[in-house]
Amino acid sequence: MTDLNSPLVDLLGKKTADALAAQLGMHTAGELLRHYPRRYAERGKLTDLAHLELGEHVTVMAEVRSVEVRRMRQRKGTIMEVVIVSGGRTLSLTFFNRRAIPGLQTGRTGLFAGKVTAFRNKMQLTEPEMMIFGAGEDMDTVDEFAGALMPIYPATGKLPTWRIATCVRQVLDMIDDPTDPMPIELLATRGLPALGDALRRIHRPAQHQDYRRARERLVWDEAMAVQLALAQRRQSALLKPAPACPPVPGGMHDLFDAQLPFELTDGQREVGEVITRDLVVEHPMNRLVQGDVGAGKTIVALRAMLRVVDSGRQAAMLAPTEVLAGQHARTLRNFLGPLAQAGELGAAEQATKVVLLTGKMPAKVRRQALLDIVTGEAGIVVGTHALIQDKVEFNDLGLLVVDEQHRFGVEQRDALRSRDGGTTPHLLVMTATPIPRTVAMTVYGDLEISALRELPRGRSPIATTVIPVGEKPAWLDRAWDRIREEVADGHQAFVVCPRIGGDEVTAAEDIAEADLEPPPDEDGKRRQAVAVFDVAEKLTEGPLAGLRLGVLHGQLPADEKDAIMRSFSAGELDVIVSTTVIEVGVDVPNATVMVIMDADWFGLSQLHQLRGRVGRGSAPGICLLVTDSAPGTLARQRLDAVASTTDGFELARHDLELRREGDVLGAAQSGRRSGLRMLSLLRDEKVISEARDAAWQLVLGDPFLEKHPGLAAMVAEIIDDDRAEYLEKA
């Protein structure tokens, strides 16, 4: 029997199978048939050339407008220049030392595949692969494309789309229809075709309706696979015991609320009430609180931690960087005042300790912190990855708060939760990166979700401006003048760079979510981003000479980083030149201006996070995005989007719209490919929502999918153990 697991070498021969393996990583019939067409071209309707981008491999269908052969001026030989036209746009093809190419004649239509390059500001394909219709060559392939709709596959320079199409056709002719993993009643309810029928229609549609119906089925499968995996995680969590933490009247939670110098927002109160209800029950809370920069998530987390401390248990906050962990510890102590001074003179009667634990603490301080944690003296523990180490023992951990969830994987988060063999601590996840609903359902589907949409009273607006140094170099001089003006008015500034510089390798906490993959220049080359050391030196000797500058990055010793932030917070430094180590959690109300160098190296959400470090006091904030990206490029569009709104939820939606298909769900953080091919977070919100409900009903009746082995196999195929982590990080 020939099925989806059949090796390609048995179906296509060694030479072809080796090419598919080397170019696309495919080894089985199923992997080839899951390589779906990215679009379909119609004979007679030529492809629009308007959206080609430098550096990408493309396949276009076009008509030959002209063919010209001439001698090269600079060296021996000839050059053939072919102009093709499609959708009213033209594109040049270049061939070297060819007098003629069979079939390549004016008026002929063909498929042309290659890498887009530029010469004298004109886009071109050099020595492209091509297939000319009616040229008398590759007749089997021409027959494949003879229908009205021609599938165009994601291809490589050495494996063009028509060769992939030939392989797909051969496999479809040999393979038996696969056993359908989806329950018949679900297919009937949704009116979906069988899996075998869908695979044939997606690759060889006779009409538009064929591939649309096929896509409906294949999208449903992928949505179900993801939601089944998440439903199993939710169900598994519900089966674990957790410590019940009911409210204690007159406890630390109530005392803290009574001493707050400001009024909680309605959103903070509502989310707090939901969390209180979660903490009362004896199965683990699994809740994500998302809120815009400055929405007050830390207060929400602290009130939850105090509920747990009131019940006689401990709470831990896990932060991704030492700077952020130290900032959180200071912020919590400042908020709590005497309530965080247990064992000290002047402490409140019901006080506890707030302890910081990081990997680079002095040995003596670390030993005392570990002692306070294991004895239960520390009711609240704040730390980095160091909290996950085996040497850290809690007395009775009741709640784990994970700040900036996207920086941690499943294993890291669960390592701390599973430390105690008796009960599972409650989990509260926080993110300042607002998440579109489809992403939330798909990426954080194992968590209940709450949102903080309003900002506390008194937060100042942040004005964001793009500084296009390529077009307006004088604007950068004005940016440095603006910093001087703000400092003269008693305020402070940040200058952020993508790299540290020097001979050091950039630390993981510095690059964080930074793209570090800037768009190529017009000549296709990539330049190196500016670095902290270089910028700090130029500013000190030039436009910011005389100001008090500090340098901050992730490779500094913990005590030095802490000392720099303390100096900045105390007003002893005017400007900090930093990497993204200050991206989250840094709270200096006196900082009013931020200049982000090479801003197009960073993601939209990261830029939004960074600018949230200014304007946190009564004075308005200013964020200047420095870039040399050209107008109209995707990089510039992204920066313009950041400058156009301060609403993180709107920006998150815009971010998703600007990303190419598959960037969110198409790859795990490890770089390995996911099994998802068709699911779109933009188009398929309704399908994802319905799949979530259907998956939950299936898992309630069959938690391990023992009655549905086909579905279990489908989940394993699309989301295997090595790839599951992307669900927590995408």
pTM across the whole model:
0.64
pLDDT of residue 646: 80
Tens digits of residue pLDDT in 98-144:
888 888 899 998 888 888 888 877 889 988 888 888 655 444 554 55
Chain-centroid distance, C-alpha 163: 33
Residue 467 pLDDT greater than 90, yes or no: yes
pLDDT of residue 519: 47
pLDDT of residue 719: 64
Rg over CA atoms, the chain: 29
Confidence of residue 336 (pLDDT cuts 50, 70, 90): very high
| Contact residues for 727 (Cβ-Cβ < 8 A; gap 6+) | 226, 229, 230, 410, 442, 443, 445, 446, 719
Residue 728 pLDDT greater than 50, yes or no: no
Q: Can you tell me the distance from the alpha carbon of 511 to that of 496, in angstroms, rounded to the nearest whole number? A: 12
The token pair that represents 196 in the structure block? 């075998």
| Contact residues for 348 (Cβ-Cβ < 8 A; gap 6+) | 255, 337, 338, 339, 341
Tens digits of residue pLDDT in 481-534:
999 999 999 999 999 999 898 654 444 444 443 444 444 444 444 567 899 999
Q: Contact at 8 Å (CB) between 319 and 328?
A: yes
| Contact residues for 690 (Cβ-Cβ < 8 A; gap 6+) | 223
Ramachandran assignment for 88, one of left (phi > 0), alpha (psi -120 to 50 degrees), beta (any other): left
Confidence of residue 666 (pLDDT cuts 50, 70, 90): very low
- Top mean-pLDDT range of 69-73, 109-113, 378-382, 430-434: 378-382
Lowest mean pLDDT among 329-338, 391-400, 479-488, 659-668: 659-668
List the domains of the chain with CATH numbers. Answer: 252-280+296-431 (3.40.50.300), 462-645 (3.40.50.300)
Confidence of residue 307 (pLDDT cuts 50, 70, 90): very high
Q: Can you tell me the distance from the alpha carbon of 109 to that of 105, in angstroms, rounded to the nearest whole number? A: 9
Burial 62-90 (b: 16+ CB within 10 A, else e): bebeebeeeeeeeeeeebbebbbebeebe
pLDDT of residue 271: 95
Calculate mean pLDDT across residues 402-426: 65
CB neighbours (10 Å) of residue 196? 17
Q: Can you tell me the distance from the alpha carbon of 444 to that of 439, in angstroms, rounded to the nearest whole number? A: 7
Residue type, 618: S
Q: Contact at 8 Å (CB) between 573 and 562?
A: no
pLDDT of residue 661: 40
391: helix, strand or coil = coil
Calculate mean pLDDT across residues 326-336: 89
Residue 190 pLDDT greater than 70, yes or no: yes
Calculate mean pLDDT across residues 77-102: 89
Confidence of residue 663 (pLDDT cuts 50, 70, 90): very low
Tens digits of residue pLDDT in 240-271:
888 899 999 999 999 999 998 888 989 999 99
Q: Contact at 8 Å (CB) between 642 and 602?
A: no
Q: Where are the beta strands (DSSP E) in 584-697?
A: 591-596, 621-627
Question: 202 or 119: whose pLDDT is higher?
Answer: 202
Confidence of residue 662 (pLDDT cuts 50, 70, 90): very low
Percentage of residues of the chain with pLDDT beyond 90: 43
Q: What is the largest CA-CA distance in the chain?
A: 94
Chain-centroid distance, C-alpha 317: 22
Tens digits of residue pLDDT in 24-46:
999 999 999 999 998 887 755 65
Calculate mean pLDDT across residues 210-222: 94
Q: Can you tell me the distance from the alpha carbon of 219 to that of 466, in angstroms, rounded to the nearest whole number? A: 39
Chain-centroid distance, C-alpha 487: 35
Angle of helix 604-611 versus helix 634-644 axis, rounded to 10: 40
Chain-centroid distance, C-alpha 18: 33
Calculate mean pLDDT across residues 386-393: 81
- What's the mean pLDDT when you consider all of the chain? 83
Q: Can you tell me the distance from the alpha carbon of 6 to that of 400, in angstroms, rounded to the nearest whole number? A: 46
Q: Can you tell me the distance from the alpha carbon of 518 to that of 446, in angstroms, rounded to the nearest whole number? A: 33
Burial 240-250 (b: 16+ CB within 10 A, else e): eebbebeebee
Q: Contact at 8 Å (CB) between 492 and 590?
A: yes
Paired sense of beta strands 39-42 and 149-152, if any: antiparallel
The token pair that represents 60 in the structure block? 């276009």
